[in-house]
C-alpha cells in the first residue's frame, strides 16, 4: 500500500515534458532514464491505456511519415496526480548489483575470477560514462528549458558516481592482487 507502482508516474512525468507515443517513451527510458529507471513495452502500453481510462492522459491517433501512431498528452488531472506524487516524501532507492553479490561471495571462487567480474564491471561503466558526460555538458548550458537543469543534475549524479565506481575498481584490483601475492 505504501509502495504503489511507479510506472504511472514515470509515464505522467515524461508526458509532462512533452506529448509522446509509447514507442518514444520507451526510447526515453532507454536513454535519459536508463541510469536509474527502466521499463518494458509490456508495462508501458497497458499503463498508457489505464491512464487514458482514468482521464490522466488523452490519446490522439494520427499518421506520421506513413506510420500509424498514438500520441499521448497529459491532462490537467494527470498533472495534478503527478504533482501529488512528486510532493510525497516516501521514496524507495534501491541498488541491486549482482557484481557486488559475486564479490561478496568471492572467497568461494578465488581472486582470478572475481577480478574478471570487477574488470567487466569497470568496462561497462566506462562505456556508459561518455554518454553521461555529454548529457551533462549539453544540458548545463543555460537555455529556455527549465527542465533541462533537473535532467542535467541526474546525469551529473551518473558522472560522479560512475567515476567513483572506476576508482573503486582500481582499489579492488590492488587489494585482490596483493592478496594473491601473499600466497607465493
Partner DNA sequence: TGGCTCATGTAATCTGTTACATGATTCT
Partner DNA sequence: AGAATCATGTAACAGATTACATGAGCCA
The residues that touch DNA, with contacts defined as CB under 7 A, are 1-7, 21-24, 38-43, 45-46, 48-49, 64-71
Distance, CA of 40 to CA of 21 (rounded, Å): 14
Kindly state whether residue 108 participates in binding a second copy, applying the rule CB under 8 A.
yes
- Smallest gap from Cβ 38 to DNA, in A, equals 5
The x, y and z cell numbers of residue 99, run together, are 557484481
Kindly state whether residue 53 participates in binding a second copy, applying the rule CB under 8 A.
no
Distance, CA of 152 to CA of 27 (rounded, Å): 18
Kindly state whether residue 154 participates in binding a second copy, applying the rule CB under 8 A.
yes
What residues have CB less than 8 Å from 19, skipping those under 6 apart? 60, 71, 72, 73, 74
The candidate with the shortest Cα–Cα distance to 103, out of 123, 80, 87, 119, is 119
Q: Is the CB of 126 or the CB of 147 nearer to a second copy?
A: 147
Q: Is the CB of 66 or the CB of 142 nearer to a second copy?
A: 142
Name the binder of 4 from DNA, a second copy, none, CB < 5-8 A by kind: DNA
From candidates 42, 65, 76, 91, binder to a second copy by CB under 8 A: 91
- Smallest gap from Cβ 39 to DNA, in A, equals 4
From candidates 103, 129, 131, 133, binder to a second copy by CB under 8 A: 103
- The set of long-range contacts for 151-158, using a CB threshold of 8 Å and a minimum separation of 24, is 151/32, 154/32, 154/35, 154/36, 155/32, 155/35, 157/35, 157/36, 158/35, 158/128, 158/132
* CA quadruple 151, 152, 154, 158: dihedral sign: positive
Kindly state whether residue 2 participates in binding a second copy, applying the rule CB under 8 A.
no
Distance, CA of 14 to CA of 63 (rounded, Å): 22
Q: Is the CB of 23 or the CB of 150 nearer to a second copy?
A: 150
* Residues of the shown chain interacting with a second copy in the complex, contacts defined by CB under 8 A: 6, 9-10, 13, 16-17, 32-33, 35-38, 79, 82-83, 86-87, 89, 91-109, 113-114, 116-117, 120-121, 124, 146-147, 149-151, 153-154, 156-157, 160-161, 163-165, 167-168, 171-172, 175-176, 179
Amino acid at each position: 500500500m505504501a509502495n504503489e507502482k511507479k510506472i504511472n508516474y514515470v509515464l505522467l512525468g515524461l508526458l509532462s515534458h512533452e506529448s509522446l507515443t509509447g514507442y518514444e517513451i520507451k526510447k526515453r527510458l532507454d536513454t535519459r532514464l536508463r541510469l536509474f529507471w527502466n521499463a518494458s513495452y509490456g508495462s508501458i502500453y497497458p499503463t498508457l491505456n489505464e491512464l487514458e481510462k482514468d482521464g490522466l492522459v488523452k490519446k490522439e491517433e494520427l499518421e506520421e511519415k506513413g506510420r500509424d501512431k498514438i500520441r499521448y498528452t497529459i491532462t490537467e488531472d494527470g498533472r495534478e496526480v503527478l504533482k501529488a506524487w512528486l510532493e510525497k516524501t516516501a521514496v524507495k532507492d534501491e541498488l541491486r548489483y549482482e557484481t557486488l553479490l559475486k564479490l561478496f561471495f568471492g572467497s568461494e571462487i578465488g581472486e582470478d575470477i572475481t577480478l574478471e567480474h570487477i574488470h567487466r564491471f569497470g568496462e561497462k561503466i566506462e562505456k556508459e560514462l561518455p554518454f553521461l558526460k555529454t548529457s551533462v555538458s549539453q544540458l548545463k548550458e543555460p537555455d529556455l528549458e527549465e527542465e533541462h537543469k533537473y535532467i542535467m543534475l541526474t546525469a551529473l549524479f551518473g558522472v560522479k558516481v560512475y567515476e567513483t565506481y572506476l576508482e573503486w575498481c582500481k582499489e579492488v584490483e590492488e587489494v585482490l592482487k596483493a592478496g594473491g601475492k601473499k600466497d607465493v
